[in-house]
Structure 1
């Protein structure tokens, strides 16, 4: 799975952050990992789960390229309670 950086930055600005890096750090990530993701590294399942819980399913599909994974396949890896994955 890969982060769509441009869309992520747009979402960050809508959430009143200066940029995607600031938003990513607020979500619990590090600047180093965000820089790696910007260079094209893949995003781990836990990061995507964190984004899912924070921004919701609809926004997640706008900012994450699931590649070969389907949304339902991703969600089956976790326990869903309400709108959150655990």
Structure 2
């Protein structure tokens, strides 16, 4: 569901599903979080992209090189120049 909402840039709906998932004791995996990063990127929510990437690290999830790097590079190409500094941690 998160991936579907993310593809349609339905941020509120994707976040609601994630919240329900976590409240049901299911921890998101790398693919769920990458879907959210893509959603946030398409919605020009750079702060949320960074927060979600930080969450990946905090959860102890090892970012998948191909999927994660590809997603982050794609998001960086869509990020306004003045917000690129927010993505320095990548």
TM-score (norm 2): 0.37
Name the structure where helix makes up a greater proportion of residues.
2
TM-score (norm 1): 0.38
Name the structure where strand makes up a greater proportion of residues.
1
